[in-house]
Structure 1
Amino acid sequence: MAALIGQQGYRELDVPGLTIYRYTAPTEATSSNYQPSMTLVAQGKKQAALGHTTFIYDRSHFLLTSLEMPVTSRVIEASIDRPYLCVRLAFDMGMVRELLARDGIAPAPRGDSGLAMTTGQTTRQLTDAFVRLLDLQDAPGDIPFLGDLLGREIVYRVLQSTEGKRLRGIATLGEHSHRTAAVVAWINENYAKPLRLEELAGVAAMGQSTLHRHFRALTAMTPLQYQKRLRLQAARMLMLMDGLDAASAAFEVGYESASQFNREYSRFFGRSPLRDVKALRAQAAAN
């Protein structure tokens, strides 16, 4: 990984969905949307928080994300001599469903099977598959064929593991996890719109109380809390990247009250919108 990434902070490799990251110092907590993926750490340590649940992953523990979700994360162990190094493989959920349809893959368990994010023990087999995937960077002609095969091997090993039970549930048509995942996707696409639980229940084809229970089991948040995180993260990026002021960003993501936005932003990020954006830009300039 160190040879492939050099002095960059991250690099998207030629294998579709494969990205490596490098940090030379611990970072402040940042908020972003994690996609369905698996992250394998070669060196250092990172922390990710979903709702009030915190996950630590390092060279002995991978991070599995089964659904697109707003996550707060920070690197907690890194230095110039021993930088944090990790590789992330994004999952194609269509391919996951294809594998589940084949013989030899355990079916999704009934009932709740935990959050859509978890950590698991990094095994020799998983590490070996990722190393072979990284080696394809030096053999671009092999990527179309072997890249797909190695990606399938990694997903297969995840599905066969205890940690893969939620991924199996989300990818299995008709399961509560799969129908709840459809609601999560709807909110991600429509977070600026008013949230109506009866409309979400219709998307999931289940009762409102049942949806509320399964949504919280999947994301560690209520639908309203989930929407609020998406709105705040989107507003932060609009101010940081597009130069919008706080009021304009608030209305853009669906807030009707700028004062409410300022209160919720300060509560979530620990600083007012103006102070937060200034601090982020200063940190980016220093890096």
Structure 2
Amino acid sequence: MADKSLAHLVGHIAQSDGDFSTAIPGLTVYRRSAVSEPMHCVYGLSLALTLQGGKRVTLGEEVLHYGPGQSLITTVDLPVTSYVIRASAQEPFLRLLLELDARAITQWAADMPFAPAPREAGTRAMSVVSLDDGLLASLTRLVQLLDEPALVESLAPLIRQEIVVRLLRGPHGPTLRNLVAAGSPGQHIGKVIAWMRHHFTEDISVEDLATRAHMSPSTFRAHFRNVAGMSPLQYLKNLRLQEARHLMLNSSLDAVNAAVQVGYESASQFSREYRRMFGEPPLRDIHKMRQTSIGPAQVG
């Protein structure tokens, strides 16, 4: 069970449903008073903590659940489907999200001695573990700092450093270290994923991506699936479809133009894959989303 004092602090910030940024850069809190429809979004390098209620995240074919007191780490940008599965007006879903800095993780990991991790440990770029008392205390102090705005600029970076050190030393450590270990497959795949996030509208082949990762295509496919939970082409398709949905909803593009902008050459293929991912053809899906006022850019 998550610490009631931290849940109380977050509930005080999020007094109504929504996503609430704070005066501490990268710290956001969330409140939902009802279970949600599937939310397709991209999780970046971050630590998320459920304080009340429950959530389910689908990454490829893998399903992760996390409830009160459980934390989720994501180390590279991953397209996921998230659901709030336990929430009510009496006991709303409460969640804290802290964006992490890859440079800070790399710096501290380089200065800390670690025992060799098992070969299979820390390959997936997303993990769920129960929060330990030390990390809970650090996060609580970070949120409490919001009541002393004059101290945020001076003390928030120090508490964030402590959080990174505790993460590296704790159960999430293998997942984080796999991201930053020099020359590791995880580091190579992480760099390729970062490149794909900025170039996904281009004509990209697995062979080109494998060359960027300094791997053979077969080795690259295996390591990519281990890290991202899906194949490189599935990852690329998810990025394109999510961006097309965003363009249609927020820029009023029609399906044909949205498909072209995200890299599709065939409108029929786009419509077919769109329906497979979102459950409705583009026009019907966007109409439904506008009726419910839910946008794909919203963080899940």
Q: TM-score, normalised by structure 2?
A: 0.91
Shift of 1:8: 4.5
Code of the aligned partner of 1:54: V
1:223-261 deviations in whole A, cap 9, x for unaligned?
100000000000000011111111111111000011100
User: What does residue 258 of structure 2 align with?
Assistant: 249
Q: Does 1:124 align with 2:138?
A: no
Shift of 1:108: 6.1
Q: 2:276 aligns with which of 243, 267, 274?
A: 267
User: Aligned runs of 1:140-219 on 2, under 5 Å?
Assistant: 140-219=149-228
Code of the aligned partner of 1:197: V
**Structure 2 residue runs without a partner (length 5+):** 1-9, 295-300
User: What does residue 221 of structure 1 align with?
Assistant: 230
**Aligned residues of 1:106 and 1:160 also touching (Cα < 8 A):** no
1:150 and 1:201 mapped to 2: Cα distance? 38
1:1-37 deviations in whole A, cap 9, x for unaligned?
1111222501111111100001110000011110110
User: What does residue 84 of structure 1 align with?
Assistant: 93
Shift of 1:105: 4.9
**Aligned residues of 2:73 and 2:127 also touching (Cα < 8 A):** yes
Pair 277,167 (structure 1): closer, same or farther in 2 beyond 3 Å: same
1:47 and 1:184 mapped to 2: Cα distance? 23
Q: 2:49 aligns with which of 21, 40, 44?
A: 40
SS of 1:136's equivalent in the other structure is helix
**Structure 1 residue runs without a partner (length 5+):** none
**Aligned residues of 1:176 and 1:214 also touching (Cα < 8 A):** yes
Moved more, 199-208 or 88-97: 199-208
Shift of 1:109: 5.7
Q: TM-score, normalised by structure 1?
A: 0.95
Moved more, 104-113 or 78-87: 104-113
Q: 2:64 aligns with which of 32, 55, 62?
A: 55
Shift of 1:263: 0.3
Shift of 1:140: 1.6
Q: How many residues align?
A: 285
**Aligned residues of 2:123 and 2:178 also touching (Cα < 8 A):** no
Code of the aligned partner of 1:167: L
1:165 and 1:70 mapped to 2: Cα distance? 21
Give the share of equivalent positions with the same residue, in percent: 39
User: What does residue 145 of structure 2 align with?
Assistant: 136
